[in-house]
Amino acid sequence: MDKNFELFMSQLQETNQTLDFFCDFKKIKKNVDDIKLSLCMLNSLINSRELRNSVEILWKRDKTAFAVMDILIAVRSEGKKKVLNKQGQCIVLDRFFDSVDGVMEYLESTGLREIFEKGIIKNLVDYVFGIETGLDSNARKNRSGHVMENKVANIFQKNNINYRREVYSREWKEITNALGDDEKRFDFVIETRDKTYLIEVNFYSGGGSKLNEVTRSYSDIAPKINAIPGFEFVWITDGIGWKAARNKLQEAYSIIPCIYNLTSVEEFIKQLI
């Protein structure tokens, strides 16, 4: 077991990122297009010598244009973000867009008034495209998991292995009974004549408490699933982040029989075939 674990650790990959990992430009463009009309109307405020007067004119024409102004400070409030106003009151950010006075306080307090009056921003559509690109970088953590899932799915497809994605434990009464109240969603399920494989997939390029949580969770549910005839828990994981959580992974390695990385997963494929 120790020898196999050492081999497992030596096979861990540094990254699973390709160039399309960093920005989802289709999503970014859609987010901008959804509010493009409002942004074009707000463009009328740029280089305004009488900003309040310009705000009042636009307000009379279409006050809904101001509802998208939260994105100008890289915030998606959606009625949830709370801030303090000049009076020290805790209010929902969107309330600033309920009146001309509120809009002016928002522009002044955020620093956007000076940006608009001096014409530092030339076009809000382009500006927000840049903001959306920055905000999209926050989604990379989730994308890393999807990249790994897609990579594993491609391996299955290449080997003509039928699988299902994102399957809930409630499909099997015996699994539900074994796991108790905690409903589990498995990344993949592969059903053969002899056994049903419930598969979790992840990739960690960096360390952190998340790795310890994952090993504890899988070390708990794997024996429960494996104790049920006809079922097997499989964990496919990779990434040099595991080097920072080596001891925890080694503990899980001794508890869970079917742990693979992107190199050793070929052993699982051969077993299925």
Give the model's pLDDT for residue 119: 96
State whether residue 46 is helix, strand or coil. coil
Q: In angstroms, how far is CA 244 from the centroid of its own chain?
A: 22
Tokens 């699973």 sit on residue: 16
Predicted local distance difference test score (pLDDT) of residue 214: 96
* CA gap 268, 152 in Å, rounded: 12
Domain range 2-15+139-272, CATH architecture:
3-Layer(aba) Sandwich (3.40)
Residue pLDDT, tens place only, 144-156: 668 899 999 999 9
Q: Lay out the sheet containing 164-168: strands in order across.
A: 164-168, 185-191, 196-203, 231-238, 259-260
Q: What is the mean pLDDT of residues 39-66?
A: 97
User: Could you count the other beta carbons within 10 Å of the beta carbon of residue 256?
Assistant: 20
Residue 268 pLDDT greater than 70, yes or no:
yes
Amino acid 63: pLDDT: 97
Domain with CATH 3.40.91.80 in the chain: 2-15+139-272
Helices 246-255, 209-226: axis angle to 10 degrees equals 0
> In the prediction, which pLDDT does 2 show?
46
> Which tens digit of pLDDT belongs to each residue from 166-215?
999 999 999 999 998 778 999 999 999 999 999 999 999 888 889 999 99
Q: What is the pTM assigned to this prediction?
A: 0.69
Confidence of residue 1 (pLDDT cuts 50, 70, 90): very low
Work out the average pLDDT over 218-230.
97
